[in-house]
Amino acid sequence: MLLRWDPFRELDRLTEQALNQTGHAPAGIPIDAYRRGDRFLVHLDMPGVDPSSIDLTVEKNVLTVRADRSWRPEEGDEVVVAERPRGTSTRQLFLGDTLDVDRLEAHYDQGVLTLTIPTAEAAKARRVEVSVGGGASGSTAIDASSRPGGLQGHNAA
């Protein structure tokens, strides 16, 4: 699960928008994010970015994507229009606890960085065995200890 709310994103967007009017700040990195089966996919548009400049870091549940896009006119060039964003772009994604960031995979192709993040084993749906105790107590035990912080409950009839 990807958490959608970032309290600083709107401030970043407004700052980038204001600076973009002067052509000095790179635009944000647009994304598409969706779940497909037991994995989460994120596509980030990063055209013109040198793949070696892409830096991915995960700290706790925050994934930070940073990349550089540069272009410098050669000496003697007369620049008529320079609207394409350049510089360092950064995007932070707040990841839910149900994702396994240790198995995150990243692939860059034709200007698109694709992140594949599998669902954590502990968060996947699984069948829970129910055993019924005999005798006078008629207790039922449900063992869900395969999940971290396992829970074991007993109900008396």
Name the burial class of residue 44, with classes exposed (0-12), middle (13-18) and buried (19+) by CB atoms within 10 angstroms of its CB.
buried
Q: What is the pLDDT along the chain (157 residues), one digit of tens a residue?
A: 555 556 666 666 666 666 655 454 445 789 999 999 989 999 999 998 999 999 999 998 899 999 998 888 899 999 898 888 888 889 999 988 888 888 999 999 999 999 999 988 776 667 888 888 865 555 555 555 444 443 333 444 4
CA gap 113, 30 in Å, rounded:
11
> Per the structure block, which two tokens stand in for 143?
């063992």
pLDDT reported for residue 126: 72
CA gap 115, 120 in Å, rounded:
15
pLDDT reported for residue 137: 56
Domain 2-123: which topology? Answer: Immunoglobulin-like (2.60.40)
3-state secondary structure of 105: strand
- Where along the chain do its domains lie? 2-123, 127-157
pLDDT reported for residue 98: 86
